[in-house]
Structure 1
Amino acid sequence: MTQQVGYGSTANNPTSLPSILCLHGGGTNSMIFNIQTIRLQRALSSKFNFVFLDGPFPGPPGPGVLPVFESCGPFLRWTRSPSDATLSEETRTLITNACEKTEFVGVMGFSQGAKLAAGLLLEQQVKGRKGFKFGVLLMGVSPPMVSGLSEEEKATRINVPSVVVLGKEDPWREEGRRLYDEFWEEGKASLLELGIGHRLPTLDFENSMIVDEILRLYSETREET
């Protein structure tokens, strides 16, 4: 599947900047997520490269995709069906291949992509692997997307420093709040609640809040290594 490099790499030498893995929402694709996050990328272009992956499964367009992105198909997701919450082998292979090519400092996901990002952080922790140092979860839902873990392992609270961004008008806000409340160790995740629905913010001050959190996470986790 397609791997796109985002705004940061067009303005800088990709090898000179740390990289963030970007995972789109269900029923979109890497190009759409690249566009949706362009304000964040512009603000962080001197700090990071943004690498966007495409999910392996085709599906209908997700919430809010039409009519704006009508010509931007095919629309893709990370699971075989919309109701599936399991990390598939196809998705795992895509993530593994990307991580073999690039050393990522962080993972950023939107909606279903945030659910996947949470699962990657949980599995990384349970299995004692080195990998992502921080997570950025935008309008995600519970539970994290995993496979092959015991019920006890699935209940492990994530200790990877992260920011969870929720929309006060998002119809899935409560599921997003559960992700924050039930799956992170206390003090390991910060919560941003914005006055928007199930989408990325467009106002400068709201984007600045997310940018500041990403910079804080990177600064704090870089100091720990």
Structure 2
Amino acid sequence: MAQQPGFANANTPTSLPSILCLHGAGTNSAIFNVQTIRLQRALSSKFNFIFLDAPFPGPPGPGVLPVFDSCEPFLRWTRSPGDSNLPEETKTLISTLCKETEFVGVLGFSQGAKLAAGLLLEQQVRGRKGFRFGVLLMAVSPPLVSGLSDEQRATKIAVPSVVVLGKEDPWRDEGRRLYDEFWEKGKANLLELEVGHRLPDLEAENKMVVDEILRLYRETGEGT
């Protein structure tokens, strides 16, 4: 069973800076906790990873079965798969959690990366303080936002980020589009790995993602 919204994978000490983790469509916070275990192990002395459940049920995502067949419910961030508007239910979940916890970064996978991009875009357009950096894993496009005009939606994101793509990912072109069209030049690093639509298994590739997260944290004001 998935954890309740706001579930924290607490590291020691609990005063560590927090990263909001957004799972892909057709999974949940418990599954994403397992999928990111290599990243968490490498960064456990630096960050507290907090996982949130999406509000809408849906079918299992790519690669979820049979490994996670007993981990229902499978959830997604939008009512329908192709929706690029942020539903009020999702917005409320995230805004409530962000009032309770201060996050230094947001990390999303697939549809969760689409949502992460939207959160960064909205905070920039609305002039809000919030996430200092973004980590977008196997992302899809466009950013998931609500209440923005067409002109605001076209704003280039300037929040320092890393966009991680899989060379064998069937949705690689969407991730590349997110990087090319929605980030201000020089504000996001592109990292391409020899994987499909999943997180890397190889230690060397996992270390590349870890190093990018540490770089972003350092360059955006570590300890401030």
Instruction: Please tell me the TM-score bracket, short chain as reference.
Output: over 0.9
Question: Which secondary structure does the structure 2 equivalent of 1:159 belong to?
Answer: coil
What is residue 194 of structure 1 aligned with on the other side?
A: 193
What is residue 101 of structure 2 aligned with on the other side?
A: 102
Relative to total residues, which structure has the larger helix share, 1 or 2? 1
What is residue 2 of structure 1 aligned with on the other side?
A: 5
Determine the C-alpha separation between the residues in 1 that align with 2:16 and 2:46.
Answer: 6
Q: Are positions 1:167 and 2:166 aligned together? A: yes
Determine the C-alpha separation between the residues in 1 that align with 2:211 and 2:153.
Answer: 30
What is residue 33 of structure 1 aligned with on the other side?
A: 32
Determine the C-alpha separation between the residues in 2 that align with 1:136 and 1:161.
Answer: 9
- 2:56·2:77 contact (CA, 8 Å) conserved in 1? yes
- Give the letter for the 1:2 counterpart: P
Give the count of matched residue pairs: 221
How far the C-alpha of 1:223 sits from its partner, in A, is: 5.6
What is residue 130 of structure 1 aligned with on the other side?
A: 129
Determine the C-alpha separation between the residues in 2 that align with 1:44 and 1:158.
Answer: 26
What is residue 176 of structure 1 aligned with on the other side?
A: 175
Gaps of 5+ in 1: none
- 1:3·1:30 contact (CA, 8 Å) conserved in 2? no
Question: Which secondary structure does the structure 2 equivalent of 1:119 belong to?
Answer: helix
Q: Are positions 1:92 and 2:91 aligned together? A: yes
- 2:5·2:93 contact (CA, 8 Å) conserved in 1? no
Question: Which secondary structure does the structure 1 equivalent of 2:34 belong to?
Answer: helix
Determine the C-alpha separation between the residues in 2 that align with 1:179 and 1:18.
Answer: 27
Alignment RMSD: 1.1
Which deviations, in whole Å up to 9, do the C-alpha atoms of 1:128-178 show, x marking residues without a partner? 000000000000111000111111100000000000000000000001000
> 1:206-221 counterparts in 2 under 5 A?
206-221=205-220
Determine the C-alpha separation between the residues in 2 that align with 1:22 and 1:153.
Answer: 25
